[in-house]
Amino acid sequence: MNKSKLSIYGIATATAIIASLVGSASFAADCPIKIGGLAPLSAPGAVGGGEAMRDAMKLAEADLNAAGGALGCDIKVVIADTEGLPEKAAAMMNRLITQDGVVAVGGGYHSSVGVASKDVANDAKIPVVFAETWNDTITGDKQQFIFRIAPLSSWASATIWQSAILAPGLKKVAILTENTDYGIPAAAETTKGLVANGIEAATYGVDIGTQDYSGIVERIKAYDPGYIIVLATGEAGYNFAQQAADAGIGPMDVPFQAGQVALESKAWWENVPDGQYAFVQRIGIPVNLWNDKALKLNETYKALTGKGAIESYALEAYDSIAILVQAINEAGTTDGEAIVTALENIDHDGTLGRIYFPYGSGKDPSVDGKGDEWWHQWPDPAMTVIQYQNEGEDSTDSAIVWPDAYKTGDAIWVSQ
């Protein structure tokens, strides 16, 4: 293995690969080894997010193959378009397993996709590392083959209300949410936190992919909130933000937390020219704390996509594939149960940091007083809130306004 390959995958991981290959010399793998990758590449799913995840998973394929692949074989990431729809997700998971012959699956953007597809994979004994599916129930039923590196929805929702209550004199919050397995529980958890802090909250539900928000915008405007929170995935969130701005309740008028799609800065400014001062939740450690692997991937990704920086969910997608390949190598086989054992004991140096799963068959979450949702759950994803304080700036250059541990600037509060 040459020096460049070691720099891509890491000396420790390369050593583990060599050791596993030697220890599994009797195992004959069918090359290439196929790994599924779930991503929404068509509407009504979050197409921009799906394309980012697809690009990252294919970059993972290239990097991992350059570092030796899996069990002496190249890997091939087979991308399946979920469209962000539960029924399509289940069908795509079944296709990946029964027709494409994948031995494991990574990726996944929408919670509805995770909820609908996990049973298919678990029943088939195919390990899955979900990258960006937040709903607590995805790991909450403690299925043997299901893992996750995205945050729990209940935990991520706390980020939203904890940062929102910092708004001066806040009394009422309007929550726009999609009627999905992500939006409904996220709105409920956010409302619970706000109410516990003496703040009134009203939720307005819409279907995924909604384009015309005129009626909702008027209802929210009549409610006269002091803060607006958007819990909607996909490009439709751009439409709501600009339509709200046109009505005088956008990011430049009322403290406004946009959906994660706003992290794609070029698209945000193209679609929401009045998007200055918007707050956005970001998953993953701040850019100034990225490790060498994340920095290297960011440069490759920017060159490939023309974007200003790699998105957090793209980093998650990359790591979901890399974790699976490390687990296959450490297991010395593509057998699902052996891969699960390796995942439960994995120590992965990822772009997101050190990834591991402290709870599983060896240790139940209840031992530490945690709920079942912590089963096969990475416990350390960092969460921050950034604010676009200058027109046209990139999200990775924006001020981190919460929490204090990562804070790089004070929030700018607008008012009606």
Instruction: Give yes or no: residues 25 and 100 share one domain.
Output: yes
Cα–Cα distance for residue pair 339/223, rounded to 1 Å: 52
Concatenating the DSSP letter of every residue in 138-152 gives HHHT--TTEEE-SPP
Q: Looking at the domain assignment, is residue 191 inside a domain?
A: yes
364-372: list long-range contacts, CB under 8 Å, 24+ apart. 371/136, 371/140, 372/139, 372/140, 372/141, 372/142
Q: What is the pLDDT along the chain (416 residues), one digit of tens a residue?
A: 343 333 333 433 443 443 344 333 335 578 999 999 999 999 999 999 999 999 999 999 999 999 999 999 999 999 999 999 999 999 999 999 999 999 999 999 999 999 999 999 999 999 999 999 999 999 999 999 999 999 999 988 998 999 999 999 999 999 999 999 999 999 999 999 999 999 999 999 999 889 999 999 999 999 999 999 999 888 888 999 999 999 999 999 999 999 988 998 999 999 999 999 999 999 888 888 999 999 999 999 999 999 888 999 999 999 999 999 999 999 999 999 999 999 999 999 999 999 999 999 999 999 999 999 999 999 999 999 999 999 999 998 999 999 999 999 999 999 75
Total number of domains in the chain: 2
Instruction: Give yes or no: residues 7 and 138 share one domain.
Output: yes
Instruction: Give yes or no: residues 268 and 398 share one domain.
Output: yes
CATH number at residue 144: 3.40.50.2300
Cα–Cα distance for residue pair 413/416, rounded to 1 Å: 10
Instruction: Give yes or no: residues 70 and 89 share one domain.
Output: yes
In this predicted structure, what is the pLDDT of residue 415?
Answer: 79
Please confirm whether the linkage preceding 286 is cis (ω < 30° from 0).
no
Residue 63 makes CB contacts below 8 A (sequence gap 6+) with: 8, 9, 297, 322
Instruction: Give yes or no: residues 369 and 222 share one domain.
Output: no
Cα–Cα distance for residue pair 107/173, rounded to 1 Å: 33
Nearest Cα neighbor of 136 from 88, 178, 80, 184 is 184
- Domain containing residue 358: 3-151+290-374
Residue 275, φ and ψ in degrees, nearest 5: -95, 5
Instruction: Give yes or no: residues 97 and 189 share one domain.
Output: no
In this predicted structure, what is the pLDDT of residue 27?
Answer: 54
In this predicted structure, what is the pLDDT of residue 1?
Answer: 38
Q: Looking at the domain assignment, is residue 411 inside a domain?
A: no
Measured between alpha carbons, how far is residue 163 from residues 237, 252, 273, 277, 328 in Å? Answer: 20, 18, 24, 14, 40
pTM (predicted TM-score)? 0.85
In this predicted structure, what is the pLDDT of residue 237?
Answer: 87
